[in-house]
Amino acid sequence: MGTFWKEECGIFGVFGHPEAANLTYLGLYALQHRGQESAGIVSSEGRGLYAHKEMGLVSEIFDKEVLKRLPGRSAIGHVRYSTAGGSHLKNAQPFVFDYSKGGIAIAHNGNLTNAQTLREELEREGAIFQSTMDTEVIVHLFAHAYPGNTVERVIAALKEIKGAYSLLFLNEKELIAARDPYGFRPLVLGKLKKGYVVGSETCAFDLIGAEFIREVEPGEVLRINEDGIQSFHPFPRVEPKFCIFEFIYFARPDSYIFGHNVYQVRKQLGVQLAKEHPVEADVVIPTPDSGFPAAIGFSHRSGIPLELGIIRNHYVGRTFIEPKESIRHFGVKIKLNSVREAIKDKRVVVLDDSIVRGTTVRKNMRMIRNSGAKEIHVRISSPPITSSCFYGIDTPTKEELIASSHSVEEIRRFIRVHSLGYLSLEGLKRCVAPRQEQFCYACFTGQYPVSPPQEKVQLDFFIKEV
Ligand code: AMP
């Protein structure tokens, strides 16, 4: 895989509403934080599929004219930052294809762990791939599954794949939603006055006034059509492994996923952190934006007042969306600035959600130092990240994860601060109790619920890409 941090994806779908494409556009707008590289919508008015996708942000890609060309009462959409496959329009989703029974579109959030093996098998049998997406494997398996109606074909395809997937399929007659047996990535179901909606996070429902019904269950396949909703459970049940990183960093704080409100969990992480790593200080400073909720929790628990000592320029893209290392570093500098008056001569506790390579926090701490802080104490609302993710969060290689080869003390020295405290794994688990065993902590423990792909296979896949 690439050596960059990359965001995951967001998916959204509507069935049975005359404004399906417009609502999908709004849904994607709310899910933009899950991927800023490309976006697409496919709609249907019952006879055909209409698609529009481009590189860029949702607001740049869609306007009234484009949306007018997406008619019908059903639609699915996708925002993407590549986790598998490169950064090209041909990899933008939803992916639309024709097979013997007509057209179908697919939108995927997650990462398959056996995609390369399946792809090689399919290619040996004569399949020709149009993209480098692992998602296209599902498309071929779907087309190969014969005979069967759409949902049966979907299920047959899902039985072949391993790893993380929250998926939406759309054809002329129905919308199918599916979540892998471990439920790594979120997927929620909602209701409009007319019709149903399915999406990655509930924040998308709030924007369009949809009522949250429930989460699509791990291992569940939902068929939504004119007759209503039908639920299938084609896989043996296993203990879920929800991605804990959704709570730490990815999901929007106003969303409800995995049985919790994200903001409340994040705030609790800060409370727990204050219990584990108390410090005498004058101010708590959040690193915008992801450090905010934990900083509030830390401040409440410790009694140390919160100050906005770092300000973010909201018109700069997230640093990690820049593909080149050189630009990424530049991005950090233009994104955040310190408020000298809130920092000078103070003992500051700086909160951030995670340390990945260590470059961001190091730069931020230099900025805080230059603003005249008397003491700097860093508190991180997650445990040290020591292992790569293979389930839809694109992580750097293990070697690039600073905590995989450096102790906390070494990292403290590297970022040049007085103290550094990470949240413990036990503390993290306490914040999602009593369901703590239902989460995947592989990025902190290296214990993978689904075997990761072999390193070599992965590398080959990537080399084809560049
Ligand atoms: P680094 O410089 O690699 O240590 O970056 C760590 C920063 O990136 C933290 O402030 C996080 O908020 C943010 N971050 C954590 N995970 C991700 C991710 N998967 N993609 C992009 N940014 C992330």
Take residue 409 and report the two structure tokens written for it: 């003390």
Q: Give the span between the Cα atoms of 359 and 127, in whole angstroms.
A: 43
Distance 79 CA to ligand 1 centre (A): 19
| 335: pLDDT strictly greater than 90 | no
Number of domains in the chain: 2
* pLDDT of res. 132: 83
Pocket test for ligand 1, best of 244, 289, 360, 365 (most atoms within 8 A of CB): 360
**Closest atom, ligand 1, to C-alpha of 6:** 20
* pLDDT of res. 3: 28
Pocket test for ligand 1, best of 354, 357, 390, 394 (most atoms within 8 A of CB): 354
| 5: pLDDT strictly greater than 50 | no
Q: CB-based burial of residue 334 (10 Å sphere; 0-12 exposed, 13-18 middle, 19+ buried)? A: exposed
353 C-beta closer than 6 A to ligand 1: yes
For 59, phi then psi, to 5°, come to -65, -25
Cβ-based neighbours of 66, under 8 Å, separated by 6 or more? 52
| 463: pLDDT strictly greater than 80 | no
Is there a single domain that holds both residue 86 and residue 33? yes
Is there a single domain that holds both residue 188 and residue 86? yes
Whether the full predicted model's pTM is greater than 0.75, yes or no, is yes
On whether residue 421 sits in a domain, the answer given is yes
The boundaries of the domain holding residue 24 are 9-241
Is there a single domain that holds both residue 198 and residue 153? yes
The predicted-structure confidence for 261-289, as pLDDT tens digits, reads as follows 999 999 999 999 999 999 999 999 999 99
Is there a single domain that holds both residue 24 and residue 149? yes
Rounded percentage of the chain residues whose pLDDT exceeds 70: 91
Take residue 215 and report the two structure tokens written for it: 């989460």
Is there a single domain that holds both residue 99 and residue 232? yes
Q: Which helix (H) or strand (E) covers residue 68, if one does?
A: helix 64-68
Distance 290 CA to ligand 1 centre (A): 9
What's the chain's average pLDDT? 91
Catalytic residues: 9
Distance 85 CA to ligand 1 centre (A): 21
**What is the average per-residue pLDDT within 423-452?**
97
Last residue of a domain, one of 241, 274, 298: 241
Is there a single domain that holds both residue 231 and residue 305? no
On whether residue 250 sits in a domain, the answer given is no
Is there a single domain that holds both residue 212 and residue 277? no
Q: CB-based burial of residue 212 (10 Å sphere; 0-12 exposed, 13-18 middle, 19+ buried)? A: middle
On whether residue 319 sits in a domain, the answer given is no
**What is the average per-residue pLDDT within 187-197?**
96
356 C-beta closer than 6 A to ligand 1: yes
**What is the average per-residue pLDDT within 422-444?**
97
249 C-beta closer than 6 A to ligand 1: yes
Is there a single domain that holds both residue 222 and residue 284? no
On whether residue 430 sits in a domain, the answer given is yes
Distance 254 CA to ligand 1 centre (A): 20
On whether residue 192 sits in a domain, the answer given is yes
Is there a single domain that holds both residue 66 and residue 204? yes
388 C-beta closer than 6 A to ligand 1: no
On whether residue 320 sits in a domain, the answer given is no
On whether residue 451 sits in a domain, the answer given is no
Rounded percentage of the chain residues whose pLDDT exceeds 90: 82
8 C-beta closer than 6 A to ligand 1: no
On whether residue 247 sits in a domain, the answer given is no
* pLDDT of res. 330: 57
Q: Band the pLDDT of 90: cuts 50, 70, 90.
A: confident
Is there a single domain that holds both residue 212 and residue 285? no
**Which residue's CA is the nearest one to ligand 1's atom 18?**
5
Q: Give the span between the Cα atoms of 5 and 320, in whole angstroms.
A: 6
Q: Give the span between the Cα atoms of 406 and 383, in whole angstroms.
A: 13
38 C-beta closer than 6 A to ligand 1: no
357 C-beta closer than 6 A to ligand 1: yes
Last residue of a domain, one of 241, 274, 294: 241
The predicted-structure confidence for 36-47, as pLDDT tens digits, reads as follows 889 999 999 999
**Which residue's CA is the nearest one to ligand 1's atom 11?**
354
Q: Band the pLDDT of 86: cuts 50, 70, 90.
A: low
**Omega before 434 cis (within 30°)?**
yes
Distance 249 CA to ligand 1 centre (A): 8
130 versus 334: the higher-pLDDT residue is 130
359 C-beta closer than 6 A to ligand 1: yes
Is there a single domain that holds both residue 270 and residue 339? yes
Q: Band the pLDDT of 83: cuts 50, 70, 90.
A: low
Distance 355 CA to ligand 1 centre (A): 6
Question: Domain holding 369: CATH number?
Answer: 3.40.50.2020
| 308: pLDDT strictly greater than 90 | yes
134 C-beta closer than 6 A to ligand 1: no
The answer to whether the beta carbons of residues 150 and 135 sit under 8 Å apart is no
Take residue 78 and report the two structure tokens written for it: 């996708």
**What is the average per-residue pLDDT within 373-389?**
97
For 354, phi then psi, to 5°, come to -160, 160
| 322: pLDDT strictly greater than 70 | no
* pLDDT of res. 465: 34
**What is the average per-residue pLDDT within 378-401?**
93
Q: Give the span between the Cα atoms of 399 and 336, in whole angstroms.
A: 27
Is there a single domain that holds both residue 152 and residue 272? no
Question: Domain holding 104: CATH number?
Answer: 3.60.20.10
351 C-beta closer than 6 A to ligand 1: no
Q: Band the pLDDT of 459: cuts 50, 70, 90.
A: very low
Distance 146 CA to ligand 1 centre (A): 44
**What is the average per-residue pLDDT within 305-330?**
70
